[in-house]
Amino acid sequence: MDVLFQLGVFITLLFLGYVFGRRAEARHYKTIRMRERAFRKIVVLNERFPPPHLCQHQSTMVCGNVVVSVDYFKVVVAGLRSLVGGRMTSYESLLDRGRREAILRMQNEAKNLGAEAVINLKFETSQISGQAGQGLGSIEVLAYGTALIPVIPE
Amino acid sequence: MSNYPSENPQLPEDINISTSHPLKDFLVLLVGVGCIVGLLVLSISLLATYLSPLVPFSWEHQVLESWQQPAVDEPYQQEFERLLRVFKLVEKQSELETDMTLHIHHMDSEIPNAFATLGGHIFVTQGLLSQVQSDTGLAMVIAHEIAHVKHRHPIQALSRGVLIQLVMAVILGDNGMANSLISPSGTMLALKFNRDMEYQADETAVAIIKRSFETLDGADEFFRIALEEHGSSGWSDVFQTHPDMAARLVRIRQALK
């Protein structure tokens, strides 16, 4: 009886994780693709120095930060995968979403400042684990860079 | 600058993420890991069945050495004496290995049950003593438990249970569970014998009874009452630890003829 109850809870969590996690991911990817197209003109480079024709631009730091939670289904799939090894596809999409969303938020900030480009792009990432590493974790991705803003001649 | 990009590139989607359906990945993993765990459990069960009887019986004593029969309450004294008398009668005919020693215990519980555990300790509850009136019927129950000890069922069940739980704890990464397994509290008394063990114990018990008594009338008393009382309170416990009571009664009756 006890075992059945635990199994029921497990399957319910798995089902909820799958349904809501997958829906959230599909929606997120849709907006990511849409905004990436919209921000294509704000060029993001990992060059440390500005290209010569932008050397006269003002520079300032811009950053974008995002925290994405993992869902129960992804945790279970990853747990099974960690027993046998191989591509952790369930976490790959999570991190991909995090990185792209962080860049988009950074680009958004750059756009609000009137920047033409962002150089020296860098990432920081960290993991937020719930309940002292026992529960579901989240990932944080921070993207930051130097925005180049054209100086308006007086 | 001619080589300076005018806009960000549009990268293909399937570089960083897999395009295969997550459920497919999950099912493949589930079936694969399930098969491996199943094979592991099966081989552990077989190992426990064939190797644990090789563990010297004296080792079992060390685990449950300190178990002392508490003083039996005054109203039950007579029942306890009857239990001891029948037990001694059956023990004589049980043809145990020389290093095996048995200990009978009276349990102050109204739930009719009897069980055998490590170290040759056999427990019979007050509930069973008051239900089973005939000595032959009581002897059959005791002989059944002695047969479990004789065939080394407690250590087989324990080895299998602990090993399987240990494997599960390792797979699920639950260290707290693995630690609690090692402590001898609780779990040792609730050893689960499987169907084959019960049949084997019944068979041996009938043989012991045939050697101990001239008439076999009432040897199936406990099983008969258990089946009749099935569903009434207190008896459900017996059916949880001893399934297939009906099938066993048929077999016992055949063997008694």
Nearest CB neighbour to B7, from listed A41, A52, A93: A41
Contact (CB<8Å) A40/B7: yes
Q: Which of B191, B202, B206, B244 is nearest to B52 (CA)?
A: B191
Burial letters A33-48, b for 16+ CB under 10 A, else e? eebbeebbebbbbeee
Contact (CB<8Å) A93/B29: no
B107: which strand partners? B125
Over residues A39-52, the pLDDT tens digits come to: 999 999 998 998 88
B104: which strand partners? B122
Contact (CB<8Å) B10/A36: yes
Q: What is the length of chain A? A: 154
Residues of A with CB below 8 A from B4's CB? 43, 51, 53
Residues of A with CB below 8 A from B33's CB? 80, 83-84
Q: Which amino acid would we find at residue B117?
A: T
Measured in Å, how far apart are chain B's first and last C-alpha atoms?
A: 105
| Cβ-based neighbour number of residue B90 at 10 Å | 27
Where does residue A62 rank: exposed (0-12), middle (13-18), buried (19+ CB within 10 A)? buried
Per-residue pLDDT tens listing for chain B (257 residues): 457 888 888 888 888 888 888 899 899 999 998 999 889 889 988 888 888 888 888 887 776 666 666 677 777 888 888 888 888 888 888 888 877 888 888 888 888 888 888 888 888 888 888 888 888 888 888 999 999 989 888 888 888 878 877 777 777 666 555 555 555 444 444 567 778 888 888 888 888 888 888 777 778 888 888 777 766 656 666 666 666 777 788 888 888 77
A111 is in which domain, residue-wise?
Answer: 2-149
The reply to whether B71 touches chain A by the CB within 8 Å rule is no
What are the residues whose beta carbons fall under 8 Å from the beta carbon of A122, sequence distance 6 or more?
A46, A143, A144, A145
Residues of B with CB below 8 A from A83's CB? 33, 171
Contact (CB<8Å) B6/A43: yes
pLDDT at B29: 92
Q: Does residue A16 form part of some domain?
A: yes
Q: How far is CA B225 from CA B18, B84, B115, B210, in A?
A: 63, 22, 17, 21
Taking the domain B72-152+189-256, which CATH number applies? 3.30.2010.10
Contact (CB<8Å) A73/B29: no
What are the residues whose beta carbons fall under 8 Å from the beta carbon of B183, sequence distance 6 or more?
none
Q: Does residue A154 form part of some domain?
A: no
CATH number at residue A64: 3.30.110.70
Count of domains forming chain A: 1
Which spans in A39-88 are helix H? 72-84
Residues of A with CB below 8 A from B30's CB? 80
Q: Determine the Cα–Cα distance for residues B126 and B84; give it in Å rounded to an integer.
A: 13
A99: nearest CA partner in chain B:
B16
User: Kindly report the CA angle at A11 between A7 and A14, in degrees rounded to 5?
Assistant: 140
The reply to whether A85 touches chain B by the CB within 8 Å rule is no
Q: Determine the Cα–Cα distance for residues A39 and A36; give it in Å rounded to an integer.
A: 5
Q: Give the SS3 label for residue B152.
A: coil
Contact (CB<8Å) A36/B26: no
The reply to whether B12 touches chain A by the CB within 8 Å rule is no
Q: Does residue A86 form part of some domain?
A: yes
Please give the helix or strand (H or E) that residue A119 lies within, else none: strand A117-129
Long-range contacts of B212-217 (CB under 8 A, 24+ apart): B212/B89, B212/B90, B212/B92, B212/B93, B212/B139, B212/B143, B213/B136, B213/B139, B215/B136, B216/B136, B216/B256, B217/B134, B217/B136
Over residues B3-56, the pLDDT tens digits come to: 788 888 888 888 888 888 889 989 999 999 899 988 988 998 888 888 888 888
pLDDT at B185: 45
Return mean pLDDT, chain A. Answer: 89
Domain ranges of chain B: 72-152+189-256
